[in-house]
Chains A and B, each alone.
Chain A
């Protein structure tokens, strides 16, 4: 079974600084997707960024980027120029890629990292 581990329950960063959130996962598959979701106080889950395992290039979305290390099964999220609106719970998630059998599209989540932005 796939597992996702986020070892940092809480992190804080000064506004405008950079912070990195860690995520490791365990899988025997070679083709899969990895995601970072943000959950602000409203509790709405919002997709931040995603990475396809077959792509060597790290995904980036504006101030958000990932460091994907497939051999190490590591998928960290870097937030640059942190803003007050970045304060939220951040969840790392895994999804198997092959869709040939129903049931392989479910997400497995980590336990989350609560990010606080210090003004």
Chain B
């Protein structure tokens, strides 16, 4: 079955540590996205990538980094520079082209201890 997987489902991090969230898709989608969700704020775009080896900052990229070495994978690293990293993180992917929707993964809940 095609879809998007995110791992782990829950992640705990000590302050000052970097942590990497995984996002994999087998839908053959070109574009991939990372969103952050906080209570009462909806989803905000962190980074996105339209093709392999290229990515762009979204609205709240500070303290985060990404890579896109393979079409199927778009990992997100939350660095120690991110001041308030506790949140729910959603990955999405999409075919290139105007009429296509974004499909979302099940998300990762990150908690900083």
Interface residues on A, range: 20 to 34
In the assembled complex, the CB of B105 is this many whole angstroms from the nearest CB of chain A, namely 8
In the assembled complex, the CB of A19 is this many whole angstroms from the nearest CB of chain B, namely 20
Binary B-proximity of A50-94 (CB < 8 A = 1, otherwise 0): 101000000000000000000000000000000000000001000
Segment with Cβ contacts to A, from B38-46, B61-69, B71-79: B38-46
Q: A44-B104, A44-B106, A45-B90 are in contact. Are A106 and B58 (CB under 8 A)?
A: yes
Q: Which label, helix, strand, loop or mixed, suits the secondary structure of the B interface?
A: strand
Binary B-proximity of A26-62 (CB < 8 A = 1, otherwise 0): 0000000101000000111111001010000000000
Q: A99-B96, A111-B42 are in contact. Are A43 and B106 (CB under 8 A)?
A: yes
A-side residues, CB < 8 A to B, are 9, 33, 35, 42-47, 50, 52, 91, 97-99, 102-103, 105-112
